[in-house]
Amino acid sequence: MTKTTKNIFFWTATVFIVLTVYSLTIGQIVPYEFANSKLSQNYYDSIMQGFPIAILLTLFGTIKKGNTKTKNWIFISMTILTSILSFALMVSLVFNIGFGSWTTFSTIYRHKTEDLVIKEQRYDIGALGYGRHRIVKLKPILKFWVLPTEVDTAKIDKNEWKFVNEEGDIKFP
C-alpha cells in the first residue's frame, strides 16, 4: 500500500473520530436538530458502527518503519484495546433508553411567504412510548437540519400563517 493511500485512510479515520466525538458530546447541546428522525437514526447508527473501525484505521498513520518494534507494538496494542473498548461503549449505548428523538405529531401551521412550519411534536423514547410534548416553529437549515423555537400558537399573527392541521410521522388508522 502506498504512503498516500495510508495517509488517506489515516486522515479520513481521524476526521471520522473527531466528528463522532463532537456528535456525541457538544453536538448534543447545540440547538439544531436533524430535519427528520429517520435521518437522525441513520446518522447515529453509522457513527456508532464506524467508530471502532475508524480507530483501527488510524493504525495506518501510527505504525512507521522509523519506529522501534516495541513502539509499534505499543501502538498496535493500544489501538486494538481502544477499538474494543469503544465497541463495548457503543453497544452499551444502543441499549441506553436516553436515545430518542422528537417526532412530529402534526403540522399545525405553514407560513404563507417563508419556508417555516409550526409543528406539534412528542419525544419518542422507543418502547417506553412518548415523553415530553412541544409546539415549535421549525426553520430549515441546509435541508438536513432545522432550528426549533418553541412558540405559543395563541400569540402568532394568524394573517401570516395558514392553518393546515396535517398528520405527522405518527399515523392513526
SS3 119: strand
For residue 61, the cross-strand partners are none
Encode the chain (173 residues) as per-residue pLDDT tens digits. Answer: 688 888 888 899 999 989 988 988 888 888 999 988 788 888 888 888 888 888 888 877 787 788 888 988 998 888 888 888 877 877 776 665 456 778 888 999 999 999 999 999 988 777 777 788 999 999 999 989 999 999 999 999 989 999 998 888 776 66
Distances (CA, A) of 148 to 56, 59, 136, 171: 37, 41, 6, 22
If you compute the radius of gyration of the chain from its CA atoms, what whole number of angstroms results? 22
For residue 146, the cross-strand partners are 33, 140
